Structure 1
Amino acid sequence: MTGSTFETATGRRMTEFREARAAFWGFLVTAVYFVIVFANDRVPTESFFALFRNYLTAAFALLFAVGVFGLVFLLWKNRPKKGQEAPSPLIVIRDWAEEEWTEHRFIRILWPPMLFAMLITAFNAYKQKILATQPFAHDPWLAEADRWMFFGQDGWIWFHDWFGSPTATLLIDLSYHAWFVPMSIGVIVCAFLGANSYRLRTQYLLTYLFVWIGLGTFLAFLLPSAGPCFYNPLVGPHESYADLMAIIRAHDEMLGAGGGNLTALHSMDGLLRARDAEGLVIGGGISAMPSVHNALAVLFALGAYRINRTFGYIMAAYAALIWVGSVYLGWHYGSDGIVSAIAVVIFWKVAGRIADALDRPAAERARVAPVAQPEIG
């Protein structure tokens, strides 16, 4: 074995080891969460696995779509120079597959969609059937904290005074609910980032996991709250929040005859109906503190900044818009997003340290590995 061949083989083993470790621990934590939620007697078995099949199908459909886009980019990147023949797409795919198999046995590609499907399924079931047993006991003091934060008035009034209008409501509504695209696509893109992106990929996926379990599950259980939009139907009478919902519905009517223009109102009505459903509903469950919506928006910005600073600033602006929108539309109190943002920054740093720790054993083995002597003859 020549020195260069030995170094190449060692590098591939390092990549394989660290990807396997990251996937193992991420999958293990997710699987434990998945099983604990499923084992709860309030969670209907048939509905749980039907939900899981839906999310798993969606995850691999996204994986395929992103893979096709990546293939187009790969073909463009390897486009022939003037006078040369274009490479066969089948050969490009074969070479790519061989390289992926050699480096990490497709581990890097498969664990992000599995993580996504298992996490979202378990979280949906937890939020609808387990968290729903908790009374919304924390809304009163969260509403008071909102007033303190916004100088003696409710947060929604602050933002509506600044730019409240039917057009602003529609734009904020569209931006707020477009969040689902980076929420799902971001995880799947991690599957196709190269070996050089190991730390970013692992840090992003682990933080994503911490958000759903740490914030959306544990902290939400400790601080169950409904949020301003559900205060009156689920907590008690609150004149200000009743006024907020009346204004949002009036804006909806102004945007078109008969209303039906705002996704927020459709979602709010659907969430209230889902509370009485026997099975599980995609996206069901009510929880305001902390805000997973805001938390993941901050995660998008952190990941984007690591790729490109300008992209990071754009996504940071989007995260700020998500926070404003969450208060403006009545989904959350102002503190919900702030607590989430602080927690995500902490999770991000911890996940980075874990990624480094998972990579360290392979690097140490590479340093102590014997140097191969060049072949003679």
Structure 2
Amino acid sequence: MFDDEPWVRPAVVIALATLAAAGGVRLITGYPAAPSGMTSLVVASLIVALTATARLLTAIFRMWRAGVAHPIAQLRSAAPAALREQWLILLGVTVVAVLLFSTSFLKSMITAVVPFWADDTLAKVDAAIGLNGQFLANAIRPWLPAVGLFYGLWHISNLGGILWVIHWRGPARGRFILSFMLTWAIGMFAAYLVSSAGPLFIGSYDLAAAPDSVQVPARFLWANYQAKGALLGGGISAFPSLHVGIATWFALVLAHRGWPKLGLAYVAAIYFGSVVLGWHYGADGAGGIIVALAADWLSRKCVRRNGQDATPSVIAAFQQSPKKERSDRRLGGDHRAADAS
């Protein structure tokens, strides 16, 4: 049914593999808690229903504006293609929901498999390069609440970014859905290998001096950790920084749309925030960038294997002039406009 959508099968495999990994870790370790999947199911259903309604209303409005004589007949003729596209959106939302549900559970169970051991090493790396998050926080204390607020808006690029991509058309959609999923999956595997909590949780960063946007989620995470809970979004892990990893993924998305400098600035801002707010060591962000670039390389390779890769490489995407990109789109000469519409 979706033979011309090369991302579908690997996306389903990644989602099921992470779900199986979460189930396996819980079975082996006897972890006492399990997250409820109802929230993810309800949210996914609402997203699909809202997007289907929005698309229908948009189509009706466009036909009304164009003065189409028989809009109902037009809708009927377009229904098969529209239903197929809606199934693809439903599938994309579902596999991403399963992935995020599973990785959240896996994150909560890290210390049931591997106790936090890498914090000393990561702190020594920071010390060796002269990086001190607490010092930086003290230096910009008046602006720290604003940094914390901006950092918290990362969820827009995480959830909003992937939902945006799922609604694209063309090979770029497959590339970025897969790279998003692989960033999370590879990042979680690395989190088990380099088990670490982060400066906030080992006492090398003063939580009391942090803004509320840091204190509230930090206390939530610590309470979930102490209770051996499995609340969605409740796990603790420093390396690699998936905040920076997903920011890198989003930067690649923005570069594909012709805004490479905006993407680079966003990665730099999230990287800085991850350190100055005490969540991460410097090496964590570097690890997140490497994970995201590796995930993008793998996703491009997968799409290319099916002969449908029409997206530029990472270097080519960031070298593309945004001004030229927009000019090409107006002329209709850029394939990416069709891919990402």
User: Does the 8 A contact of 1:59 with 1:188 survive in 2?
Assistant: no
- Structure-2 change in CA distance of 1:170 and 1:63 (3 Å): farther
2:218 equivalent among 268, 277, 295:
268
Q: 1:169 aligns with which of 144, 167, 184?
A: 144
Instruction: Report the Cα offset of residue 155 of structure 1.
Output: 3.5
| Match runs of 1:157-236 below 5 Å | 157-158=135-136, 160-161=138-139, 164-166=140-142, 168-194=143-169, 197=170, 199-215=171-187, 217-232=188-203
Contact (CA 8 Å) 2:191, 2:239: kept in 1 or not? Answer: yes
Q: Which residue of 1 aligns with 2:319?
A: none
Cα distance in 2 for partners of 1:108, 1:72 equals: 19
107, 117, 126: which is aligned to 1:137? 117
Q: What is the TM-score when the length of structure 2 is the normalising length?
A: 0.80
Shift of 1:313: 2.6
- Distance, in Å, in 2 between the alignment partners of 1:86 and 1:132 is 65
Q: Matched residue pairs, number?
A: 307
Decide whether aligned partners of structure 1 residues 60 and 94 sit closer, same or farther in structure 2, where only a CA change above 3 A counts: farther
**CA displacement at 1:352 relative to structure 2:** 1.0
Secondary structure at the counterpart of residue 285 of structure 1: coil
| Distance 1:343-1:46 versus aligned 2 partners, 3 A rule | closer
Range 274-283 or range 219-228, more displaced: 274-283
Find out whether 1:329 has 2:316 as its counterpart: no
Rate the CA distance shift 1:94–1:62 in 2: closer, same or farther, 3 A.
Answer: same
What letter is aligned with 1:193? Answer: W
What amino acid is aligned across from residue 270 of structure 1 in structure 2?
F
How far 1:157 moved relative to its partner? 1.7
Distance 2:98 2:149 in 1: 27
Q: 2:230 & 2:135 partners in 1: Cα distance?
A: 35
> Measured at CA, do residues 338 and 156 of structure 1 come closer, stay the same or move farther in structure 2, by a change above 3 Å?
farther
5+ long unaligned stretches in structure 2: 310-341
2:193 and 2:250 map into 1 onto residues whose CA distance is 26
Residue 57 of structure 1: aligned partner: 42
Q: Give the Å deviation of 1:73.
A: 4.5
Q: State the alpha-carbon separation in 2 of the partners of residues 121 and 188 from structure 1.
A: 16
**1:1-377 to 2 correspondences below 5 Å:** 16-19=2-5, 21-39=6-24, 40-41=26-27, 42=29, 47-48=34-35, 50=36, 52-81=37-66, 84=67, 88=71, 94-101=76-83, 104=84, 106-149=86-129, 152-158=130-136, 160-161=138-139, 164-166=140-142, 168-194=143-169, 197=170, 199-215=171-187, 217-232=188-203, 238=204, 241-242=205-206, 245-248=207-210, 252=211, 262-277=212-227, 279-307=229-257, 309-310=258-259, 312-359=260-307
C-alpha distance in structure 2 between counterparts of 1:223 and 1:281, whole Å:
22
Provide the residue aligned with 2:314 in structure 1. Answer: none
Which deviates further from its counterpart, 105-114 or 290-299? 105-114
User: CA 1:147 to 1:53, structure 2 compared with 1: closer, same or farther past 3 Å?
Assistant: same
- Contact (CA 8 Å) 1:291, 1:340: kept in 2 or not? yes
SS at match of 2:34: helix
Deviations 1:62-109, CA, capped at 9 Å, x for gaps:
23334444445445544524xx36875x666655532134xx575422
Contact 2:198 2:238 in 1 (8 A): yes
Could you tell me which residue of structure 2 aligns to residue 8 of structure 1? none
CA contact (8 A) 2:148 2:273 kept: yes
**1:209 deviation in Å?**
1.4
Structure 2: how far apart are the matches of 1:96 and 1:145? Answer: 58
CA apart distance, 1:45? 8.9
Measure, in 1, the Cα distance between the counterparts of 2:98 and 2:291.
22
CA offsets 1:265-317 (integer angstroms, 9 cap, x no match): 1000011100133542121110000011110011011012112x23x432332
* Partner SS for 1:17: coil
Q: Quote the RMSD (CA, aligned, Å).
A: 2.7
Deviation at 1:138, TM superposition (A): 0.8
Q: List alignment gaps of at least 5 residues for structure 1.
A: 1-12, 233-237, 253-261, 362-377
Q: Which has the larger radius of gyration?
A: 1
Which residue in the other structure is 1:5 paired with? none
Secondary structure at the counterpart of residue 18 of structure 1: coil
Q: Which stretch shifts more, 331-340 or 30-39?
A: 30-39
- Distance across 1 between alignment mates of 2:283 and 2:30: 30
TM-score (structure 1 length as normaliser): 0.73
8 A contact 1:18–1:359 mirrored in 2: no
Distance 1:303 1:95, change over 3 A: farther
**Change in CA separation of 1:91 and 1:171 when aligned onto 2, cut-off 3 Å:** farther
